[in-house]
Amino acid sequence: MRKILQTLAVGSVLWAAPGWADSDDIVKVRATGDVATTMSALEAAVEGAGATVFARVDHGAGAEGAGLELGPSQLLIFGNPKLGTPAMQANPLAGLFLPLKVLVYEDAGGQVWLAYEAPEETLDDLDGVDDDADYVARMTGALRKLTQAAAGG
Residue pLDDT, tens place only, 60-69 = 999 999 999 9
* Cβ neighbours around 2 below 10 Å, total: 8
Closest CA to 123 of 94, 99, 144, 86: 94
In the chain, what are the domains?
A: 2-14+25-151 (3.30.310.70)
- pLDDT, one tens digit per residue, over 67-88 is 999 999 999 999 999 999 999 9
**Stated pTM of the model:** 0.83
Residue type, 151: A
User: Around Cβ 115, how many Cβ atoms within 10 Å?
Assistant: 21
Q: What percent of the chain has pLDDT over 90?
A: 79
Kind and range of the H or E element at 51? none
For residues 111, 112, 118, 121, the Cα torsion angle rounded to the nearest 10 degrees is 50
Given a cut of 60, is residue 16 above it in pLDDT? no
Amino acid occupying residue 35: V
Query: Residue 15: is its pLDDT beyond 50?
Result: no
What is the reported pLDDT for 91?
95
- The answer on pLDDT for 12 being more than 50 is no
Containing H/E element for 114?
strand 112-117
Task: State the chain's mean pLDDT as an integer.
Answer: 87
Pairing type for strands 73-79 and 52-58 reads: antiparallel
Confidence of residue 108 (pLDDT cuts 50, 70, 90): very high
Contact call for residues 138 and 149 (beta carbons, < 8 A):
no
